[in-house]
Chains A and B, each alone.
Chain A
Amino acid sequence: MAEIGHFALILALGVAIAQTVLPVIGYLRRDSRWLAIGVSGAQTQFGLIVLAYAALTLAFIYNDFSLKYVEANSHSALPLIYRLSAVWGAHEGSLLLWVLMLTGWGFAVSLSSRRLPADIAALVLATMGSISVGFLLFMLFTSNPFERQFPVPLEGHDLNPLLQDPGLIIHPPTLYMGYVGLSVAFSFAIAALITGKLDVAWARWTRPWTTTAWLFLTMGITLGSWWAYNELGWGGWWFWDPVENASFMPWLVGTALIHSLAVTEKRGVLKSWTVLLAILAFSLSLLGTFLVRSGVLVSVHAFATDPARGVFILAFLTVVLGSALLLYAIRAPKLVSDGAVELMSREGLLLLNNVFLVAAAAAVLIGTLYPLVVDALGIGKISVGPPYFNSIFLPLMMPLAVLVGMSARVGWKQARLRDALWSLRWIALGSVICAVLLPFVLERSWAWMAILGTALAVWVMIGALLDVVHRVRARRDRWQGLRSIPSGTWGMTLAHLGLGFWIFGVTYASLFSVEKDVRLAPGQAAEIGAYTFTFQGTQHSEGVNYRADTGSVIVERNGRLISKLQPEKRLYPSQGSVMTESAVDHNPRRDLYVALGEPIGDQDWALRLYYKPFIRMVWFGGVLMFIGGIFAASDRRYRLARHARAAAASDATAAV
């Protein structure tokens, strides 16, 4: 079975090469038969990768430890669901997943290719094929998941216990869908550069693909954050770990890209900037893959350390980015935008939004790579961590939040500053009132950071809603007004609301969290604010593939029972590692979080207690952005096969 998978990979490489080369020849010769190879190539390649993936999955299901990769990452006692997710639990398998998704996106593009001009479709698929070539070569030469070993071990090493969590089942695939999905936008950008055709229709084709990739990336990051909070037991939701940064950079640039695509579609301007962003967003995805997979960073996520791999990805990254930028340098001057862009207009504000988002991405990039560069130059070793990122990131994000709140009330083409400010008076008033009241009502505090954070959050939220309100009011029949709002507008509203919730959650969770490490004997209690945590002792138990101590903690508020929490400490004997399974009582208002430490003396245990206000808002915001993305990507106008002319005509009716 494994040999079938291996063979399918080799065949897929052949197909990918054909898919890259032949359509380009077809484009040069203006021969539609050669162009069509892009479509059939993409579909064949997807089929082959599905076959390879199925083969590896079967090897995991049947515990085929003759495969090195299976042996290293599975165990006969591992529950089936984790054996399925262990397929992408380490380097080789996660690359296979990467390629599966890449060819999956290619397959999806090929299905909708009839709506595209033949030459564009062929060039897009050829570009995607070339990326596939790079990754298949990488797998076959440095990271083959189908490598056999002899003698066959009787038992596997087991999956990293850190990864034995429902979070792992969905977090990496979602994130990869996003990473890899940006390759579609990249490929459209390359096709536009080669043909020199970049019009409203191009932006309209590219937008739903980009938004879809973005929504997966958003969800992937949100899930990762939730997973870290839940599983790692550190009580944090974002660590500025290089691997998190690796996913955050493409997200920032991807966010800039979906906004600049909106401008390009509506106004036909910022064309070359949009193309450059598409190139950068995908390059950052590749850079992220390099950082994670090469092991240049020693961090919680990086399991792989093999220089040959790092060098290969770096070379590949250089080739992709280098050739794309070269093409850009040659062809971008041909992408002429007409019409003026006023700073005080919706497109002007979106341009500013792009400036801040890209600057933020650059800050994350600088902070992530700086220690590596300093180390490589031999001028010492430094660490760049959360305190740095927080202090740089905050001043870059605050103006962005101000812009988001403004955007909905500022029209396209040109607006007068005074009119815009006047139309924002209610938002401003609302956020000032909330900013003064909420921190005090909720947390008895007048901390100026809390006031500022609340003001920005409310500003963004009201700004998002006000657009909907105005659209409803514009019609005499309110209900019809509500129904006439295009799904793209709902998407924007939801995503911006999500940003507001996110800002709110981040502000309160980071300013008002209380953390206590306590030593408690059974029967003893500790207090945080109005909450009393009473420790009742621990019990020993055996799990499927681990041993556990389960603590029992009763939480009361003013004598009223709130919850009974059971934090766990697990020992996985197969790898000798200890994991903390924290217990959380949550509601939208606050999380109460208990983690079990070490036993002290005969009966006492060390416990960590947390009170975290509004931390759920952080992920709730992410989920809203995700749902907003779904609305935006499914806007009706993308599904109508209209011509470019019709597209231009509908500008007046549709929103961002």
Chain B
Amino acid sequence: MMRVASLVAALLMSLAVSVSFAAAIDPLPPLSGAQQEHYQQLISQLRCLVCQNQTIADSTAPLALDLREQVHRQIAEGRSDAQIRQYMTDRYGDFVLYKPQLKPRTILLWFGPFVLLALALITAVIFTRRSRRRPVPVAVDQQALQRLLSEEDGR
């Protein structure tokens, strides 16, 4: 199922029609306040599969319009966020989600940055601890040094 879905996505990608940079504007019948917010949030997290890196909120492509209407209808029917996402991934694969789900193959994506941060913080703390043991630069009295050196030479 997964493979088919990503194949479909790839196919759609290769068929990508000319890109339009016009804003996607379509007045759908108004939803209630909370539902409207949910709608806006959701369409800005779904990818327009035939576009160049655009959300379905931004795209003018017919597919994006279809998907917006789909999301709109499902929200109006009272379906939950998870249900709608599931519906989308069943049809189009993970590619449709701009916020990847936490899965084995996205573990590094979600935790990588924080693991790196933790390592860097630990390194910084260890570094500062160690740096205390470094010799402190001592201001050298140049004249005294010269005197000492010339005494050395004179001997």
Binding site for B on A (CB under 8 A): 161-162, 231-236, 239, 241-242, 268-269, 297-300, 302, 337-343, 348, 351-352, 355-356, 358-360, 362-363, 366-367, 370, 374, 379-388, 391-392, 395-396, 515, 517-519, 569, 576-580, 582, 595-598, 600, 606-608
Contact = CB atoms under 8 A, between A and B. Distances in A.
Interface stretch (B39-47, B75-83, B147-155): B39-47
Contacts of B133: 340
B40 A359 contact: no
B97 A381 contact: no
B100 A383 contact: yes
A300 B53 contact: yes
28 contacts: A233-B21, A299-B53, A300-B52, A338-B134, A338-B136, A343-B125, A348-B128, A356-B117, A359-B113, A366-B112, A367-B109, A379-B105, A380-B105, A381-B94, A383-B94, A383-B96, A383-B97, A384-B98, A386-B98, A387-B99, A395-B114, A396-B117, A515-B40, A517-B26, A578-B20, A595-B25, A597-B25, A607-B27
Nearest to A392: B113
Given A337-B134, A356-B117, A385 B47 contact: yes
Given A379-B105, A388-B99, 7 more contacts: A299-B53, A300-B19, A351-B127, A517-B27, A577-B20, A578-B20, A607-B25
Contacts of A580: 21-23
Contact of B109 (A341, A351, A366): A366
A582 B128 contact: no
Contacts of A517: 25-28
Contacts, number: 177
A338 B128 contact: no
Contact of A235 (B23, B110, B121): B23
Q: Is the interface of A mostly helix, strand, loop or mixed?
A: mixed
Most buried by B among A239, A382, A597, A598: A382
A512 to B, nearest CB: 12
B95 A383 contact: yes
Interface residues of B, number: 56
B18 A396 contact: no
A338 B131 CA distance: 8
Contact of A606 (B27, B53, B105, B109): B27
A360 B114 CA distance: 9
Given A339-B136, A359-B113, A391-B99, A380 B127 contact: no
Interface string B1-45: 010001001100100001111111111100000000000100011
Contacts of A379: 105
Contacts of B27: 517-519, 600, 606-607
A355 B124 contact: yes
Given A341-B131, A366-B109, A384 B100 contact: yes
A382 to B, nearest CB: 5
A421 to B, nearest CB: 19
A348 B127 CA distance: 10
A351 to B, nearest CB: 5
Contacts of B135: 338
Given A341-B131, A356-B117, A382 B94 contact: yes
Given A352-B124, A358-B120, A242 B113 contact: no
Most buried by A among B6, B55, B125, B131: B131
Nearest to A388: B99
Interface string B62-96: 00000000000000000000000000000001111
A577 B18 contact: yes
A379 B95 CA distance: 12
Contacts of A342: 128, 132
B144 interface: no
Contacts of A577: 18-21
Interface in B135-149: 135-137
A380 B25 contact: no
A125 B114 CA distance: 39
Contact of A382 (B18, B26, B53, B100): B100
B5 to A, nearest CB: 9
Contact of A269 (B44, B99, B105, B131): B131
Contact of B22 (A298, A352, A515, A569): A569
B85 to A, nearest CB: 12
Nearest to B3: A380
Contacts of B25: 517, 595-598, 606-608
Contacts of A236: 58
A351 B128 contact: yes
Contacts of A352: 121, 124
**3 tightest CB-CB pairs across the interface, nearest first?**
A385-B98, A597-B25, A363-B113
Query: Among the interface residues B44, B98, B106, B110, which one has the most CB atoms of the partner chain A within 10 A?
Result: B98
A582 B18 contact: no
B8 to A, nearest CB: 11
Contacts of A362: 112-113, 116
